[in-house]
Chains A and B, each alone.
Chain A
């Protein structure tokens, strides 16, 4: 089946640094990708919808200047957490919609720990 590769799977960084997370669709093209975050024992919360070649659409309460999203190609979207703080520590998951059949596939997630 279709695969979405998310990298890195886990990252530890110092407070104030920036972290980039990549989401790649390996065998299909995706004009739309989604970024979620999940706190322990809570639901996946949609952060933003990433559209290839245009600006991302952010959900209410998500700071677009802090969570920079770039979707420069049909197979890659990146999420950069800028000036990370400990409260940004969370599990981030991406998903990608296959243009050919509209099916949605998820990445394996990135555990971010900010010290």
Chain B
């Protein structure tokens, strides 16, 4: 069965620090990969997605993620975080032959000024 692992459950950073959130998935076939963000009191929003092509994907608000097929990873990065990036971040996988998103357990990011 497909699964998604997010190893960082809670990350605390100061503003301007660099961020990298890990995401690994288990599925042998072709997948689509997503990062979603949920700001406090708001609904899930798409940050970025990878379907094919350049494995380095750029999303909104300065976020990017790199798909490394050999490592089954899709880590999220941002060179310099802001207080407004405080949120819950979810990695998700969708196998090409299904319509379902499988989510990781989420990473809570707190950024202090």
Q: Cβ of A74 < 8 Å from any Cβ of B?
A: no
Interface size class of B (residues with CB under 8 A): 10 to 19
Instruction: Decide: A107 and B99 in contact? CB cutoff 8 A.
Output: no
Q: Cβ of B65 < 8 Å from any Cβ of A?
A: no
Instruction: Decide: A34 and B105 in contact? CB cutoff 8 A.
Output: no
Instruction: Decide: B100 and A43 in contact? CB cutoff 8 A.
Output: no
Q: Cβ of B56 < 8 Å from any Cβ of A?
A: no
Partner of A108, one of B4, B9, B36, B43: B43
Partner of A43, one of B43, B44, B99, B105: B105
Residue among B4, B43, B104, B105 with the highest chain A CB neighbour number at 10 A? B43
Min C-beta distance of B87 to chain A, whole Å: 14
Question: Interface residues, chain A, CB within 8 Å of chain B?
Answer: 4, 6, 32, 34, 36, 41-46, 49, 93, 95, 97, 103-104, 106-109
13 CB contacts below 8 A, A to B, read A6-B43, A32-B99, A36-B103, A42-B105, A43-B90, A43-B104, A45-B103, A49-B99, A103-B46, A104-B101, A106-B36, A106-B44, A108-B43
- What are the nearest 3 A-B pairs in CB distance? A106-B44, A108-B43, A44-B103
A34-B100, A42-B105, A106-B45 given; name 9 further pairs at CB < 8 Å.
A34-B101, A36-B103, A41-B105, A43-B105, A93-B43, A97-B99, A104-B101, A106-B36, A106-B44
